[in-house]
Structure 1
Amino acid sequence: MNKLSLILTLTLLTFLTNKFSAQNGNSNITNGNTNRETLVMRSGYKSTIETKGSPYLYKEYKKARIANNKVLVDMRYNAYKDEIDIVNNGQNMTIYKRTEYSPIHIIDSDEYLYLLEYPFKGKNLTGYLFEVKKFADFAIFMKISKDYEKGRYAQDSFDIDKENSYEDLPDIFYIQKSNGEILEMPNRKKKLIEIFPDKKDKIEKTIKTDKIDTQNLNTLSQIFTALS
């Protein structure tokens, strides 16, 4: 058999084999789309996808006082899980969400976290809020959160791996009234006046726009001035 005939024979055999496999399937071959991830998993080797960011507000542990405990502990706030991690006798642990463990005072940044019940998307949640400013008859708190997006492997040679990532979510501000009730900071000046009718004149004079953008530092400054 000459070289050309051999090539044609091998080509025909390959075509028939592929056709047979496509029609009948094979215990080792799937008929679905094959991408890099499935090939990697089949081979028994899985590379590590990198992770960008951190679930923690501060990556490092901070000295903190829990409630009235005189002994300082090393702690950090998990903004993704809304949990407090501490080091106890050399072991990492998460403290229970109990009012007797509140507030938590982070010493070097002088921040206070309170375990409170607050409204969120139509539900009442119990979690940690950061105290932003305390007035004579009310207080302003802030919810700090992070989101997690799972990465993925490249789907083909033209694609690249996508890393896991933790991203900051927009801060949410709350008002705690003198009776303990907690309300989400309204996004309209009119609604803010309804909460503080006795401060109507000052609110109208100080806050320049009807829409309240709490992500804007200038607007926050105007709110604090109007409510002080």
Structure 2
Amino acid sequence: MKPQLNKYAIAIMLLISISGYSQHSDVENIYFNSTTFTTIDLTSKKLVGTSYINNEFLPGKISNQKMVYSMRYNAYLDKMEVELDNKAYYLPLSSNYSITFESLNKIYQVLDYKEKELTSKGFFVVVYFGNEISLFLKEKIKLYEEVPAKLGFTTYEPPKLGRLNDKLYVGYKNNTAIELPNNKKDILKLFSAKSNEIESYAKKNNLGFKSKEDLIQIFRYYNSLK
């Protein structure tokens, strides 16, 4: 009888296959971190709501690989899960790679970003990809703690998972991202020496700095400048 690969061995193979599309330093990071690969208990206690953008595992590809895996994004933990032999595994965040869900027409990219002054890695949805700057979207789900009942005043409320408003980020060639500022003045500062040209272009074409569609057009114009 042929020996069967256990789930852990399959997971390690998956890690190594990801590293093949990374820089050498990232390959080493993924390989040496593989011993801490984490499994997820799919039968854990259910909360009200969901931690997933899409509850079902869907076919997805890692970077430029041909192999298709069953995956889903956990927006509460900011983790990408891969289903292998009825168990889910987290993909590592030690490499800047992408996940493509063709059925959703959606691509997730791993980027470095700052949150509360701490540098982290996370998954971002590609809104527009350019040669100089790109536009990304961050999906997030928050856990709201349970509210105990107060005798004669309130009833018990269970813990809930709720989706927050998506946030837009500006991405750069070095795989870093910063949150898009809320006002036009600060957004224009991102274009530094080209800010006047961008402002004139936006005004001429009646473009705002709030909608994704207008921002895509502005970013595309900026990337066309020399």
1:80 is the counterpart of 2:76: yes
Report the Cα offset of residue 95 of structure 1: 1.8
Q: Pick from 60, 66, 91: which aligns with 1:64?
A: 60
Contact kept? 2:135, 2:216, Cα under 8 Å? no
Contact kept? 1:65, 1:71, Cα under 8 Å? yes
1:111 is the counterpart of 2:117: no
Equivalent residue number for residue 46 of structure 1:
none
- Classify 1:96/1:188 alpha carbon distance in 2 versus 1 (closer, same or farther; 3 Å): same
Alignment of 1:132-151 (within 5 A): 132-151=127-146
Report the Cα offset of residue 158 of structure 1: 4.9
Q: Which residue identity is paired with 1:164?
A: P
Q: Which residue identity is paired with 1:202?
A: Y
Equivalent residue number for residue 189 of structure 1:
184
1-side partners of 2:77 and 2:174: how far apart?
A: 29
Q: Which residue identity is paired with 2:53?
A: L
- Classify 1:72/1:169 alpha carbon distance in 2 versus 1 (closer, same or farther; 3 Å): same
- Classify 1:153/1:195 alpha carbon distance in 2 versus 1 (closer, same or farther; 3 Å): closer
Report the Cα offset of residue 181 of structure 1: 4.7
Over 6 Å off, 4+ runs? none
1-side partners of 2:46 and 2:82: how far apart?
A: 26
Q: Which residue identity is paired with 2:93?
A: K
- Classify 1:63/1:179 alpha carbon distance in 2 versus 1 (closer, same or farther; 3 Å): closer
Larger radius of gyration: 1
Identity %: 20
Contact kept? 2:134, 2:219, Cα under 8 Å? no
Q: Which residue identity is paired with 1:150?
A: E
Equivalent residue number for residue 87 of structure 2:
91
Report the Cα offset of residue 169 of structure 1: 1.5
Equivalent residue number for residue 55 of structure 1:
51
Equivalent residue number for residue 149 of structure 2:
154
Contact kept? 1:50, 1:163, Cα under 8 Å? no
Helix, strand or coil for the counterpart of 2:214? helix
Contact kept? 2:111, 2:176, Cα under 8 Å? no
Equivalent residue number for residue 27 of structure 1:
none
2-side partners of 1:64 and 1:93: how far apart?
A: 14
Equivalent residue number for residue 23 of structure 1:
none
Report the Cα offset of residue 179 of structure 1: 5.5
The one-character-per-residue Cα deviations of 1:159-213 (angstroms, maximum 9, x if unpaired) are 322022111112221112345553321222122222222423113445667xx54
Contact kept? 1:207, 1:223, Cα under 8 Å? no
The number of aligned residues is 172
Task: Provide TM-score, normalisation by structure 2.
Answer: 0.67
Equivalent residue number for residue 119 of structure 2:
124
Q: Pick from 203, 208, 214: which aligns with 1:222?
A: 214
Contact kept? 1:206, 1:222, Cα under 8 Å? no
2-side partners of 1:226 and 1:177: how far apart?
A: 15
Equivalent residue number for residue 9 of structure 1:
none
Equivalent residue number for residue 169 of structure 1:
164
